[in-house]
Structure 1
Amino acid sequence: MEKNDRIWQLLARKLAKEATDAELDELAALWKQQEGDAEIAAILEKNWQTFPEVDMEFLDATYLLHLQRMQEQGIVMGAAHHNDTLNAPADHIHPKKSTFKKYLIAGMLPFIIILLAAGWWQFSKKEQQTIVLPVTQSVEIPNEIVTKNASKTKIILPDGSTVWLNADSKLWYYKSFGNVQREVYLTGEAFFDVTKNPAKPFIIHTKLTDVRVLGTQFNVRSYPNDKTVETSLIRGLVQVTLHSRPDEKYFLKPNEKLVVLNVPDSVNTPKNIQPVIKNLDENIVAIKNLTPLQQDDSLKIETAWTKNRLCFTDESFDEVAHQLERWYDVQFVFKNDKYKNIRLNGSFVNETLTQALDALKFSTNFHYEIKDKMVTIY
């Protein structure tokens, strides 16, 4: 008999109060050779006395199921246990041979650690490794694409759709993408050129909105620190739904954008503030026309970044600073908050950070200092 089988046999006899003094001494000696196992055995013994009566047929089936799962992972229980359970009909198992099984399954339900320990004890000691039993519902790990500041990337999704991901952005989707519908999740900014497939809608989930399309070109900007979340349509048709108002649907036509005020936790706004939010509803959501570049009417400011142009018009310095941070991989600090509200216009292609700041301050009186990656406005 293998040493591990002998341990289980002696432990079962001890729990059943059938062990002789010699067998108890033998068990104690075997425990000393199994580092860390005695502590688990102590837990088993402690809870054995207080565990209520259970349905043994149910636990027996549960025990066999776990043994089968352990075998599928290459965790082989002792030969005696294998023959007595998985290969032999239940009504042909000898009562003495099933004694240990009966005790083990009675303790297994509230103390799954015992079953895990069983797998470890019975596994070959020649190679120590961590054993993880399969769970009933596996956690699906998403495919994730992340861009850092001052970088962009192009992605081809499994359905052939193309996504351009702007700086400081993250796009992820699950293995189920395309099974029934095509769903992706976005933080940051991305331009989508979606392959048309009426049978499988394409949905983009952001912090505040869900954008649903069939096949089209559009831009979604949803940075956590920006004041607005925007969906800009170039071609086709999109439907936008707000998480805070799921019954309302907004449809965009080409050259339109939906602008949503980024109100933190607006869904769970306290009741005493609800009237204020209600009065602001017309300003929380707005449909506007896209803004063409003065130099090129065919290019829109909302999607200029896809052509490696940083463009903004009549935006506060505070908002522009966030864009500059992502574009040049720096951090802005305002020593005087009055400069945050200055309205700025700009269009940059290959300009350095210094050149861009010099151009912006030409029509204002702010000063700046650059040290490492820190830009101080004063």
Structure 2
Amino acid sequence: MEKYQDFTVQDWIWDDAFRAWVLTPTTETNEIWHKWLRQNPDKWANVREAIATIKALNADEPLLTESEMSDFMKQMAAKLEGATTTHSPFLDVAPSERIRPFYRNRALQIAAVLVVLIFASPFFMRKISTNTEGVSPKTDVTQKAVSEGFIETFNNADTPQVITLSDGSVVTLKKDSKLRYTSPFKGQNRVVYLSGEAIFDVAKIRQFHFSLRKWAVDKVLGTSFVVKAHKIEQQVTVEVRTGKVSVFNQKDLTEGNEKTTLEPRGLVLTPNQKIVFDKQIDRMTKTLVAAPTMVLEPKELEKLNFNFDDTPANIVFETLRKAYSINIIYDESVLKNCPVTAPLNEGTLFEKLDIICKAIEARFDVLDGQIVIQSKGC
């Protein structure tokens, strides 16, 4: 990814990998680009402009058909060649000099293409204007302005839709989901409304709060989280990938004063933690995501050794805590004399915990977003 450090807007627009991510994002490419953007916040301005340009150029609207383009080119060729052979008081051509047709002159070919594009633009605009409402056949994404300066985007496509907000935050909107937001954000509060599911990669702006309807996300660095808030479902979930997120029930916030988002009833989430809000009983529960992932950078992970050979259990658990950024509670005095021998480079976190606990005759539970090891010793 080093080549992107010196990219201009034009470079971004024509980079194949970047264009593929913008136009046909996948879970894998989203993770790659979101991570790079979090690490390079100074590139946001150029990236935002490039994304907007790529989407504009790729709008799936009915352009000229082949026959229409052929007719138009013939008309333009006639006009241009007629203009070339017309006597001009500033350029007198002798009768014996044969004027070379413009389509056989390389320089004029290029110029003609530019002229065609310029003259054709009203025709393209007329064609585009006939299909500006409803869902795009290619992306199935609609975007419209709504009341109070908000923009509303609805994704009905099978693939996620990437939306870049005015502050540089990136939202990956899943199928059958709707996002409402202002552009640009006003004041110090960045407020968006979500119905459905989306991945949020919030820009690093310390002095600004990023607020989601029914939830308030505290001002933190490098925050990436997933929200599932479908109207027809009884539960709303927030899963944190990186950074730290403070989650509050909207009714716990003082009306009209969003600075109260640090009230005691808020729950703080760290990587791999998850909040489940039950709308029916109005209760929030903190737990872990179904499949925790390692959150350390590759260089930091290389420093950790997962091939354990007669390693005290407390050191094994500390290694897992660092790799997954999940608090593991245990009695060090009990487990320091329990050796573990096992290669744990592969498998999920819970599979690794099963192996360890069987080896030391212990068990683990997930409580309040933490892992608790219960053992009577070896």
- TM-score normalised by L of structure 2: 0.34
Q: Which has the larger radius of gyration?
A: 1
TM-score, normalised via structure 1 length: 0.34
